[in-house]
A = this chain, B = another copy of it.
Amino acid sequence: MKASLKKIAGLIDQLIRTDNFPQTIKPDYLREAVIDYPVRGGKRLRPALMAWCCEAASGDPAATLHAAAAVEVFHNWTLVHDDIIDRDLTRRGAPTCHKALAAKLGEKFKLNAADAERAGADFAILAGDLQQAWASELLLKSVQDGVSTPIVAALLANMHKLADNELISGEALDVEFSLRPADTITIAEVERMIYLKTGALLRFAAESGAMIGSGDPDPAAPLTATLGRFASLAGMSFQLRDDFLGIFGATEFGKPIGSDLREGKATIILAETLKRANASDRAVMLGLLRRDAYSQADVEEARRIMIESGAAASVERRIADLGDECRTLLMTIPNGDGRRKLLEFNDYLAERTI
């Protein structure tokens, strides 16, 4: 699986770097912003998931090339707009899109700091808009990979349903949660948000791969539906693990430990803690949210409450259960290289520490 992932990442990277869509974008700094996140790399899990699902549906994974690049660019536009909304400063170790633009524009047009920030956010909105269009354009270019027009039309319709409508609804719910007191947010609401925000795009990737592989444009076809269901559950597992590592991970984990607490991020582990903890720990936990700064002792206190309340164990159990459910689903599909990689991917999701 790891070798396959690396190979797919290389192909996607090359396609994104050479695709002609961004070339006509003006001004130059907007074009550079559009290309920025997509070429920063990342694990390329979504393209790989699409290729493996194609293989699992007896297709040639090479036929997913443009569609896989599309899902990756799609993922990136949502990150650009999310980062504006969340006022994030860094992404994959470099300034976020709006911060990079703010610095560039501030220098180019001799703007004061406030005007530069504003201009950076304004152009980052447009950069994300262009990336959304770029994703659709890449999907349309799937015909160059031998994908039939009815399948391309089905992929596009599915993208608007899952990747746009559901995913953006999920992002909106996540933003709404940040406006509500943490103890009014139910576990069911957080689960729904996670499915929409993380699961829907993985499901789109999986269903697209299955449609391309099988040549059947119906997303309800049994194999396609099974792989879509697998991807939804895998997305839930991925996010639960991500949120768990956001508290219990090593400091080398992608984001600073405690940043979820600072943002008051709605996570299952937090919702479980608030539900399970005794009254005094519950009050302490609520007091640990949305502070300006966190000491190591604060993080340790949050960990203690999450462990003692049973929330940490319940999340780990849930991840294990999801892994089992995913494995059971995958065992119902035809045996072969595609299934083998998906099974390895499933193990990776449950076990990853970074």
Interface residues of A (CB under 8 A from B): 21, 24-27, 30, 81, 84-85, 105, 109, 111, 115, 119, 122-123, 125-126, 128-130, 132-134, 136-137, 140, 143, 149-150, 152-153, 156-157, 159-160, 164-166, 168-169, 171-173, 175-176, 179-180, 196
Tell me how far the C-beta of A30 lies from the nearest C-beta in chain B, rounded to whole angstroms: 5
**How far is A159 from B172 in the complex, measured between Cα atoms in Å?**
26
CB distance from A146 to the nearest CB of B (A): 15
A81 touches B126 (CB 8 A): yes
Residue numbers in B under 8 Å from A153 (CB-CB): 140, 143, 149, 152-153
CA separation between A178 and B137, bound complex, in Å? 30
* Complex contact A176–B133 (CB within 8 A): no
Nearest CB in chain B to that of A124: its residue: B125
B122 touches A136 (CB 8 A): no
B85 adjacent to A125 (CB under 8 Å): yes
Q: Which residue of B lies closest to A106 (CB)?
A: B179
Residue of B nearest to A31 (CB): B169
The residue on B at minimum CB distance from A148 is B149
| Inter-chain contact A27/B133, CB cutoff 8 Å | no
Q: With a CB–CB cut-off of 8 A, which chain B residues contact A125?
A: 81, 84-85, 125
Which listed residue, B105, B119, B176, touches A27 by the CB 8 Å rule? Answer: B176
In the complex with contacts A109-B180, A175-B123, A169-B26 CB distance below 8 A: yes
Given contacts A84-B125, A136-B136, A165-B21, contact A119 B172 (CB under 8 A): no
Tell whether, in the assembled complex, residue A111 and residue B179 are in contact, meaning their CB atoms are under 8 Å apart: yes
Q: Return the 6 tightest CB-CB contacts between A and B, nearest first.
A: A133-B164, A137-B160, A109-B179, A26-B169, A85-B122, A30-B172
Choose one: B119, B133, B160, B171; the contact of A179 (CB below 8 Å). B119
- Which of B128, B143, B156, B173 is the one whose CB lies under 8 Å from A26? B173
- Total copies of the chain: 2
Query: Given the complex of chains A and B, what is the CA–CA distance between A253 and B143 in angstroms?
Result: 48
Question: A84 contacts which chain B residues (CB < 8 A)?
Answer: 122, 125
Q: Which residue of B lies closest to A119 (CB)?
A: B179
Q: Using CB atoms, name the residue of chain B closest to A111.
A: B179
The docked-state distance in angstroms from the alpha carbon of A128 to that of B130 is 12
Q: Of all chain B residues, which has the CB nearest A196?
A: B26
With contacts A153-B152, A165-B21, A165-B25 taken as known, whether A172 is within 8 angstroms of B126 at the C-beta atoms is yes
Q: A26-B196, A27-B173, A156-B156 are in contact. List 17 more A-B contacts (CB 8 A).
A: A25-B169, A26-B169, A26-B173, A30-B169, A85-B126, A111-B179, A119-B179, A128-B129, A132-B132, A133-B160, A133-B164, A134-B160, A136-B160, A140-B156, A140-B160, A143-B153, A149-B150
- A130-B164 in contact (CB<8A): yes
* Neighbouring B residues of A165 by C-beta, 8 Å: 21, 24-25, 130, 133
Evaluate whether A129 and B168 lie within 8 angstroms (CB atoms) in the complex, with A21-B160, A137-B160, A179-B109 already known: yes
Among candidates B143, B157, B179, residue contacting A140 with C-beta atoms closer than 8 Å: B157
Query: Within 8 Å CB of A140, what residues of B?
Result: 153, 156-157, 160
Residues A123 and B172 in contact, CB atoms below 8 Å apart: yes
Residues of B within 8 A of A175 (CB): 119, 122-123, 126
